[in-house]
């Protein structure tokens, strides 16, 4: 084992942890002030729930054993048998417990991404039960299929460096299914939903960018050249996407916006995640530049044409951005950068990785759709999915938590 690698991955784990508070600020700033506490509380409770579940059985189901390439087993229940002084089967240069901790942070932020599509009308009890079930039914199987020993998608040659399928497509598609079933916010077509705190949005985006370096570079599982490569592709794709979104703002409305810049940098991070350790550095510019118009079009289509109330664009950004990132990995990846990719991408004359990426995306979407429907069906047996009309009008901060983010502003946000 290597102490430098161990220190690096522990720092990266802390960076990925910090992303979930960053997401709380990002989402919290985007909503109306009467729902900011509820929105941030959703991320907060997931931070606690995901850690407990991961230690008890989540890690074991994701990475312990193999059943049909879909799920693990309970051999490491409660982390039994995992030593702090011995390497695991996934990385021989760091303690097994460090790998567990790093992966735990991915299991934390992924379900938190879903909450952005549901703000302003989902019952907190229903959300809590859904996240608990969704982690078991969708996240753990996806983590095993992509990253686990003998995982189905890994076996067919599909690659996902840091979570395009596992994190972004799974959460984005589940968010879309959930918000469609939940229904639109009351008065959706006749109400202007103004962003209540733009500095919160920017702060959250900056924290996400900071943490994402641990997210992607840490997925090299060592302080090495591949980590440096992933670090640079992450920075470049995000910067490129930010510039692209600012250009879209200027062309559409004549003015650049901080919210647009913040959104752009985040979708750039989403798009590079699956390919950060596979694509050439120059390709990150193209991946980032294209993801902004792709996501912007998807958001306009969902909200404008289809009238789907994906409140904070969880699917429009993470689902669509993740799908583009997975496709782009199949186009630009080079096996000489990372031997985990069995073949070069489409632009280098080989179609096999591209085909495997498409299969991986389709499987992820199917698992997310079916898994979400199963989870919602179970949750409905115990509680309604959404609050009643009066609670929604008052705001979920008061009706669900008895708190107000800005007591001096009471009455100004109807």
* Domain spans in the chain, listed from the N-terminal domain onward: 3-404
Q: Could you read off the pLDDT of 237-271 as tens digits, one per residue?
A: 999 999 999 999 999 999 999 999 999 999 999 99
| The pLDDT of residue 195 is above 80 | yes
pLDDT value of residue 89? 85
The C-alpha angle with vertex 361 and arms to 209 and 171, in degrees rounded to 5, equals 50
pLDDT value of residue 83? 86
Nearest Cα to Cα of residue 127 among 387, 322, 339: 387
Within 10 Å of residue 14's Cβ, how many Cβ atoms?
15
What pLDDT band is residue 187 in, cutting at 50, 70 and 90?
A: confident
The C-alpha atoms of residue 111 and residue 38 are separated, in whole angstroms, by 16
And the tokens for 124? 């907190």
The C-alpha atoms of residue 372 and residue 174 are separated, in whole angstroms, by 6
By residue count, the chain amounts to 414
The C-alpha atoms of residue 270 and residue 249 are separated, in whole angstroms, by 20
pLDDT value of residue 413? 53
Region 3-404: CATH code:
1.10.3430.10
The model's pTM: 0.95
The C-alpha atoms of residue 286 and residue 240 are separated, in whole angstroms, by 8
Q: Could you read off the pLDDT of 329-342 as tens digits, one per residue?
A: 999 999 999 999 99
C-alpha dihedral (167, 173, 176, 178), degrees to nearest 10: -80
* Cβ-based neighbours of 292, under 8 Å, separated by 6 or more: 241, 244, 245, 248, 264, 267, 268
Max Cα-Cα span within the chain: 62
- The HSE-up count of residue 344 (CA atoms within 13 Å, CB side) is 8
CB 270 within 8 A of CB 224: no
% pLDDT > 90, the chain: 93
CB 335 within 8 A of CB 98: no
- The HSE-up count of residue 361 (CA atoms within 13 Å, CB side) is 21
What pLDDT band is residue 408 in, cutting at 50, 70 and 90?
A: low
| The pLDDT of residue 67 is above 80 | yes
């Amino acid at each position: 084992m290597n102490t430098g690698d161990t220190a690096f991955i522990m720092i990266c784990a802390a960076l990925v942890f910090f992303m979930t508070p960053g997401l709380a600020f990002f989402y919290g700033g985007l909503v109306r002030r009467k729902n900011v506490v509820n929105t941030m509380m959703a991320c907060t409770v997931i931070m606690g729930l995901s850690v407990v579940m991961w230690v008890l059985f989540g890690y074991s189901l994701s990475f312990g054993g193999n059943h049909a390439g879909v799920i693990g087993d309970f051999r490491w229940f409660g982390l039994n048998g995992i030593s702090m002084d011995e390497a695991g089967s996934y990385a021989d240069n760091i303690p097994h417990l460090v790998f567990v901790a790093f992966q735990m942070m991915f299991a934390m932020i992924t379900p938190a991404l879903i909450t952005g599509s549901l703000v302003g009308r989902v019952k907190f009890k229903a959300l809590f039960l859904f996240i608990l079930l969704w982690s078991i039914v969708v996240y753990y199987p996806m983590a095993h299929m992509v990253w686990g020993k003998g995982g189905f998608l890994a076996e067919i040659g599909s690659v996902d460096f840091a979570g395009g399928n596992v994190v972004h497509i799974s959460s984005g598609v589940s968010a879309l299914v959930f918000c469609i079933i939940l229904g639109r916010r009351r008065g959706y077509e006749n109400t202007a939903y103004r962003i209540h705190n733009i500095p919160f949005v920017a702060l959250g985006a900056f924290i996400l960018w900071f943490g994402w370096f641990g997210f992607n570079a840490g997925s090299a599982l060592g302080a090495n050249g591949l980590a440096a490569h992933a670090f640079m592709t992450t920075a470049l794709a995000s910067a490129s996407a930010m510039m692209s979104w600012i250009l879209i703002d200027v062309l559409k409305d004549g003015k650049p916006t901080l919210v647009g810049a913040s959104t752009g940098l985040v979708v750039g991070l989403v798009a590079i995640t699956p390919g950060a350790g596979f694509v050439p550095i120059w390709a990150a510019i193209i991946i980032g530049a294209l993801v902004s118009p792709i996501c912007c079009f998807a958001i306009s289509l969902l909200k404008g044409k289809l009238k789907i109330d994906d409140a904070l664009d969880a699917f429009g950004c993470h689902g669509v951005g993740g799908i583009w990132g997975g496709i782009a990995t199949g186009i630009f990846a080079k096996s000489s950068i990372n031997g985990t990719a069995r073949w070069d991408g489409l632009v280098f004359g080989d179609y096999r990785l591209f085909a495997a990426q498409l299969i991986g995306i389709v499987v992820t979407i199917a698992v997310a759709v079916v898994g979400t429907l199963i989870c919602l069906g179970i949750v409905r047996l115990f509680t309604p999915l959404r609050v009643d009309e009066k609670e929604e009008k008052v705001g979920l901060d008061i009706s669900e938590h008895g708190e107000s983010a800005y007591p001096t502003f009471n009455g100004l946000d109807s």
